[in-house]
Structure 1
Amino acid sequence: MKSKIFFLFSLLIFCTTFACRNKDEKPTIHKNSKPIYSYEEKLKSEVNEIKRFLGKSPKYNSDVAFFLDMKVESGRNRFFVYDLKHDKLLDKGLVGHGSGSETGIYGELKFSNVKNSNCSSLGKYAIGGSYTGRFGKAYKLYGLDKSNSNAFDRNIVLHKYEDVPFEEQPYPICNSLGCPMVNEKFFNVLEKQIDNSKKKIILTIYY
């Protein structure tokens, strides 16, 4: 009887030790598993690229720039306000993309510079003057690359929309007709940066 109790007790200790060891071990990463996307690494790369661009283009604001990462799903913060001078993230928020960019495949988007495509366009934009339109105050955008050269003619602007939520969501938010479309509260943050800038601020949209 004593030997049976001793055996059961030893078995319990072994199982408990094994379970604890497994809990602390790092999970095995298979070679074919898809790596987790890091917006921070991509943002850092884009920041460096914009710094190089601004070094050759002194007519634009070299202290602050806006970054929009289309690889991040629309329900997550993917519009970044970045302090180039002090190398730090100032703010971030949700932003809608063009309905024409939807592919029907979750997490995959397409982009176009064609008029009436309702697609978002990748590339660098110079944020121009404001005007009052359908969604209230909005800012004209001027495409600086071949991929977004038709932005002004397509009426692609930075604007707010009441149905864009402020907090992150577990599901996609509403789409635009190709414009970067943000929450009204977050728009106020961008508005202060733009209106207080003596030079045009650069917005870059990447994927």
Structure 2
Amino acid sequence: MKRFLLVALATILLFVLASAAWYYSKMKPVYKTVNRDVAATLHKKLLLKLSSRAAQARAYAIRNKCNADVCFLIDMSIESGKNRLFVYDLKKDAITSGGLVTHGRCNEEWLNGRRYGNEVGCGCTSLGRYKVGASYKGRFGLAYKLHGQDSTNSNAFKRFVVLHSHECVPAAEVDPYPICQSDGCPTVAPDFLKKLAATIDGSPRPILLWIFN
């Protein structure tokens, strides 16, 4: 009797383990597929968003005598530890490079989230389109003057909002960690500024830089 019970229990246990293994094998691939699809959808959404902005940027560049072959797009909806400044080839409708860029802290010790402003002294990022102007050597080294083209960034030149580099900006993505914040300037890593400088200095017309959310 005892042997019969042991055999029965062993049979039941094997059946349960076999059922669990079958169930897990069926469920696991579905779980992985769902995750890959979500990641792919998010990536596709970003590419579509940038492509749409690039098309608008090209039309604006043609109307306003800017370089219609390349532009710089900065998407402030992306976390600061991820690449969010993109060099965009307007002829090929493709991203050629990307890097980290700061946003303004709005005169706070550390700004949580995002806040935007255009007032002189606000210390915030100003959304809108800019023409990248002349280069100069400032307290952070090489920098480029920025000329705001919209009502949301019309005071950029008065505010000394410029494109420059700083050692506090890493050369590669650090997400989920944030990077340093600025007083409103789009600040990049030193090596990335060299890449941007090659594009800016080699352009026969002003480069369009567009900061959006």
Using the size of structure 1 for normalisation, the TM-score is 0.88
**Do the aligned partners of 1:166 and 1:186 also contact (CA within 8 Å) in 2?**
yes
RMSD: 2.4
1:118 to 119, 123, 133: 123
Larger deviation: 119-128 or 94-103?
94-103
1:42 equivalent in structure 2: 49
Is the counterpart of residue 131 in structure 1 residue 136 in structure 2? yes
Q: Which has the higher helix share?
A: 2
For 1:22, the equivalent position in structure 2 comes to 27
**C-alpha distance in 1 between matches for 2:20 and 2:159:** 66
Q: Could you say what secondary structure the match of 1:125 adopts? A: strand
Could you tell me how far 1:55 is from its partner in structure 2? 3.6
1:189 to 172, 195, 202: 195
Q: Deviations for 1:92-130, whole angstroms, at most 9, x for unmatched residues?
A: 111111111879785x31100100000000000000111
Q: Which residue in 1 is equivalent to 2:83?
A: 77
Q: Which amino acid aligns with 1:77?
A: N
Letter matched to residue 90 of structure 2:
L
CA distance in 1, matches of 2:91, 2:62: 12
Structure of greater Rg: 2
Aligned residue in 2 for 1:206: 212
Which residue of structure 1 aligns with residue 71 of structure 2? 65
Identity of matched residues, %:
41
Per-residue Cα deviation, 1:119-159 (whole angstroms, up to 9, x for no partner): 00000000011111111111010001110011111111101
- List alignment gaps of at least 5 residues for structure 1: 30-34
CA distance in 2, matches of 1:47, 1:26: 35
When you count strand as a share of all residues, which structure comes out higher?
1
Structure 2 alignment gaps of length 5 or more: 36-40
- The reply to whether residue 8 of structure 1 matches residue 8 of structure 2 is no
1:53 aligns with 2:68: no
Asked if 1:145 corresponds to 2:145, the answer is no
Which residue, out of 75, 78, 97, partners 1:91?
A: 97
User: Separation in 1 of the partners of 2:168 and 2:210?
Assistant: 24
